[in-house]
Chain A
Amino acid sequence: MTGVDVLLLALGAVAVGSAVLVVTTKHLVRAGLYLVVCLGAVAGLYLVLAAELVAWVQVLIYVGAVVVLLLFAVMLTRAPIGASDDLDRPGWPAALIGGGVGLGLAVLMVDAYRWTTVELPAAGTAERIGEQVFGSWVLPFEVLSILLLSALVGAIVLSRPDIGAARQATGDPDREPGRSR
């Protein structure tokens, strides 16, 4: 085993371990913080695989924005300190689906590649990713941009009753959204 293998395994163990903690902990906010560790470890995996730009994108978008939004939403509604014993989600369907998909994918990958060794491509620098995205992948890239743009416009229309059609759905427009901790 080379140093890279050891690093990959260690980071993978951190990612999987913190992911398990995310779904098993009874502390709501800590679950979000474990998610930070998990996504950070995945960014580390990208780094080890020489995909530098993707790793920092992962940190910027997922750690810096997505998890923060999630934590923000939890703290705006209900974020008790300590364990929440009244969480009544049944765990077994999720465990079944998650474990099944994970195991299935692992079997599929192992069976497909066996002991084939693959030469790693040149490092994923910003320049190379730019060439790829705006060269051979420019059409999917632009289609995705339009999809995101329409989602953005849709979110604005839905959240503003004065310009959208959501007036009857909100009921009493003067009602403050309930905030309880």
Chain B
Amino acid sequence: MPLWLELVIRIGGVLAAFLILPLLVGQAEHKVMAHMQGRLGPMYAGGFHGWAQLVADGVKFVQKEDITPRAADRPVFRLAPAVALVPYLLALLVIPLGPNDLVGQPLDVGLFFVLAVVGVGVLAVLMSAWASANKYSLLGGLRGAAQLLAYELPLVLAAASVAMAAGTLSLSGIVEAWQPWWLLWQAPAMAVFFLAGLAEIRRPPFDMPVADSELVFGYLTEYSGLRFAFLLLAEYVGIVVIAALTTVLFLGGWQGPFADEQLGWLWTLLKVAAVSFVIIWLRVSYPRLREDQLQRLCWLVLVPTALAQLILTATIRLAL
């Protein structure tokens, strides 16, 4: 296979995942939330159980007028949705789907790369918040930035623990080194990573920055039309990325009950779907954390747990 063809196929695959997986998660969220609340959810669009609801939503968003408030800082305001989306697209590029380099771009320092680009997302929050020229937006953005900066620390520490256990920064290498008993001794790191990841994508119960009862919709307040859709899409790609990272780092990625070589991609996708389901489940079942509770959880629970896990990992690695 010539180089360019391989490149086109890989990038096309990543783009397809980037466009399709968030829609599936979104539709699952509609349905799962509805059934957990004793409703049916969307039932009409597309005929069968409202499968085309999100497509219809997309068409609606495209038709809407793209409004930029007069007092806003135009270029920054218009650029922010792109800055929110691109980091997650880049992150999807290096997450392995299966063995034998079934990945957008195999990278030696894949874990480090993912953490670095996901950290850029906070810029989009600050940009959209400030450029909107709206006090609710700004309040939401400052909450968001404080939250993202705080939770980045336990996220990186928990990821460092698993990298230390596997002895590599390559995501494929981590999956190869993974063994089922890691579920046990890496469990605290997994919990910390998952919770910090939830906070990084500002999903409930960590959605203080967009708390609708006090801040309208936080830093998204002034957005409409396609740009609003992009910011929402960023949230759902974020779910996919966090679920995929949890899968790859802590749940063994493509390792399944049988036929890892042929069905590895299926095991990965199934695990990503399961973790995404848990993320949706948490949204339905937990109330929003208050701002001070949120910071307290991070600094007094997650960070010490992650540090203790690092010590445990180092000890066991040295003992083995």
Selected interface stretch from A18-26, A61-69, A97-105? A61-69
- A166 to B123: give the CA distance in the assembly, Å: 34
Selected interface stretch from A2-10, A29-37, A85-93, A111-119? A29-37
In the bound complex, residues from chain B placing their C-beta under 8 Å from that of A49 are none
Q: Is the CB of B109 within 8 A of A125?
A: yes
* Top-6 shortest CB links A-B: A64-B119, A60-B116, A59-B116, A56-B116, A81-B73, A126-B109
In the bound complex, residues from chain B placing their C-beta under 8 Å from that of A65 are 119, 149, 152
Q: List 9 A-B contacts (CB under 8 A).
A: A30-B76, A36-B123, A53-B112, A56-B109, A56-B112, A63-B119, A75-B130, A75-B141, A76-B142
Query: A69 to nearest B CB, angstroms?
Result: 7
- A57 to B119: give the CA distance in the assembly, Å: 11
Choose among A29, A36, A63 the residue that contacts B130 (Cβ–Cβ < 8 A). A29
* B71: Cβ under 8 A from any A Cβ: yes
- A60 to B116: give the CA distance in the assembly, Å: 4
**Residue in A closest to B129 when the chains form the complex, CB atoms:** A75
Query: In chain B, residues 94-123, which have Cβ atoms closer than 8 Å to a Cβ of chain A?
Result: 108-109, 112-113, 115-117, 119-120, 122-123
Give me the interface of A with B, judged by CB distance under 8 Å.
Answer: 27, 29-30, 33, 36, 52-53, 56-57, 59-60, 63-65, 67-69, 71-72, 75-76, 79, 81-82, 125-126
Choose among B73, B115, B122, B145 the residue that contacts A82 (Cβ–Cβ < 8 A). B73
Q: Is the CB of A59 within 8 A of B130?
A: no
In the bound complex, residues from chain A placing their C-beta under 8 Å from that of B127 are 33
In the bound complex, residues from chain A placing their C-beta under 8 Å from that of B122 are 64, 68
Dominant SS among interface residues on chain A: helix
| Beyond known contacts A30-B76, A59-B117, A64-B152: 12 more, CB 8 A cutoff | A29-B130, A57-B116, A60-B116, A63-B123, A64-B116, A65-B152, A68-B149, A72-B126, A75-B126, A75-B129, A76-B142, A81-B130
Q: Is the CB of B142 within 8 A of A75?
A: yes
Query: In chain B, residues 57-100, which have Cβ atoms closer than 8 Å to a Cβ of chain A?
Result: 71-73, 76
Size band of the B side of the interface? 20 to 34
Q: Is the CB of B120 within 8 A of A63?
A: yes
- A67 to B113: give the CA distance in the assembly, Å: 18
Dominant SS among interface residues on chain B: helix
In the bound complex, residues from chain A placing their C-beta under 8 Å from that of B113 are 56
Query: B137 to nearest A CB, angstroms?
Result: 11
- A79 to B72: give the CA distance in the assembly, Å: 13
- A64 to B120: give the CA distance in the assembly, Å: 5
* B248: Cβ under 8 A from any A Cβ: no
In the bound complex, residues from chain B placing their C-beta under 8 Å from that of A68 are 122-123, 126, 145, 148-149
In the bound complex, residues from chain A placing their C-beta under 8 Å from that of B169 are 126
Q: Is the CB of A60 within 8 A of B108?
A: no
- A75 to B139: give the CA distance in the assembly, Å: 10
Q: Contact flags (1/0) for B210-224 with A, using CB distance below 8 Å?
A: 000000000000000
- A9 to B270: give the CA distance in the assembly, Å: 46
- A125 to B115: give the CA distance in the assembly, Å: 17
**Residue in B closest to A32 when the chains form the complex, CB atoms:** B126
Q: Is the CB of A53 within 8 A of B109?
A: yes
* B131: Cβ under 8 A from any A Cβ: yes
* B138: Cβ under 8 A from any A Cβ: yes
Query: A60 to nearest B CB, angstroms?
Result: 4
A71 and B115 contact, Cβ closer than 8 Å, known pairs A52-B109, A82-B73: no
Q: Is the CB of A81 within 8 A of B131?
A: yes
In the bound complex, residues from chain B placing their C-beta under 8 Å from that of A64 are 116, 119-120, 122-123, 152
- A56 to B113: give the CA distance in the assembly, Å: 6
- A69 to B150: give the CA distance in the assembly, Å: 11
In the bound complex, residues from chain A placing their C-beta under 8 Å from that of B149 are 65, 68-69, 72
**Residue in B closest to A63 when the chains form the complex, CB atoms:** B120
In the bound complex, residues from chain B placing their C-beta under 8 Å from that of A56 are 109, 112-113, 116
Q: Is the CB of A33 within 8 A of B76?
A: yes
